[in-house]
A and B are shown apart, each in its own frame.
Chain A
């Protein structure tokens, strides 16, 4: 039955691409599991080095991309690289012909889907990353995800290594007590924020509810924290980033430190949040037995996950595309915009994958960049809401144009950038639309090819 199910799934993938209906990133998996429900478990069991899972609110795709680059030419991978991170996406990745010769499965998992996937795939390691507020209408509150992760950790095999974002008090508390832990985190107060931003989600001690004291706040609530009341504090770091040099959109350099050993990493990705992603990838690579030097080289080769950070030339303007999905991630994107006047396209969709509730845009600190925004175009299914948010952030209403159609908005922002640089900030499905527009004009490859590259 498995063989038949595989054949059907592969035929579906082929048909889906041939008819131009999409990348075949989820449908083959649905066909596979409809015909053979235990196929993902059995296929994962055939991988000689097992599976590694990555989950977090922000950074899953980038973390997997970074790790894949580290392992390039060293370990043959099966991956769900187009960001299809529910059960169907991972089943699809296991079904494709190339997966039959893979040694290791590397899968990013939706936070809510992680427990079920971990039960099925019996991973050798799981990266538990940051937990931020995200798409509440879909998941219920952050605590619900945390509760499901806790239940997962309690039933895990002791041999499964957990790679843990030590900077996140909630994630760290979830993993606490598991016998095999690797803690990673940032250890450089010189790049800390002056204060915890508004979008902080875990400000109060996960044990006793008292407000945390911070030695340094890095991204949202990701921090070097300690509770003055009960003593709950960040765990000692097994893998740390020190001597961080943030060079805006040009990238980031840091020392990757493990015990007495350290190596310089030259990351092509902007922002401190990508240092968190690089650390997660590095920690998994360490668990997989890769030496620090190989890890640093691999991290340095990575040029950005699909749609997260990308440059497009439209007309005579350079457009920098940066994905935003939730307050914490969006605030980090705003932090890396270079100083000076800026032209911006904010494309806000409210489809299922974006979250139907767009109230989160009010928790993003647009106020910090509003005085510098000379021209703003808003697009997407919620273009009017995006315009309203920026008006109340302090952008003059006369500088805001509402152009719901994403393709036309892209042209408009390129016009307004007038041969200079424009910044394009789309939500997830708006990013997919933009990729579609770019691909149809020959500016970029279709997303399933981009992701496989």
Chain B
């Protein structure tokens, strides 16, 4: 059978299993872990879109916060329907990203990364300082559940599970298409050699802003979902530390293709669940394990979890045909 069809079947089987999961395993804790994993995947996969243009953003959670605040304010203050605010949150985050992107994306490399740290903090301080509108450090409380839609009434955990799953599939479908389109190619060319790309007639600024805004659109959607899931948001939910965790997910999963930012959040969200089985385990240890994971991955497998497959294949090939050069690994994204 053609390799492409095998891939399709595997993807369909995984999606089918995920749809059946809450029916088979009724443990609300596990359903909750999956729900969190899904929106983290949306964030990580969209963050990779920015990384494809060669820029690292440490403000991704701040843009998620913009989405969360947009939805929460519209739902609590003017009583809009959540489903109307959902696309609006994404659009608001994207519009802010376009405005800020044209200014900050002129900066390259580590300077941009540090500038986004500052950007994220400034956005957060707007929420903290503008108490009347954004509620200051207390945030916004009593955000209602979304109104029932298509047979899902949002009283129980499984309904959020399906919402998150559909949101993730939507984001993955679009971002996967973008990855394999002219846009994806253009983004990579900018990361590899921006002046060469420019001399080939690519308006690198527009493409960088486009990638940034598209990624922030999905971060905004995830934010709206988060606000309805938690029923409460505050500036402390969208700190630099959370954004850094997304980079951890991305690095541990691998940046080479879209599978990496899916595997990274999945593995690191389920790791604590496994660790809890160990007697005497304290959740406070978790950042040490995450940090150690990060160091080990950077030092010994810089391509992340997805690099393992290529490495195993190349060593098998080497055993089979020792005279042949090892298969080159994935190019960087």
Q: Do A and B come from one complex?
A: no
Interface residues of B (CB under 8 A from A): none
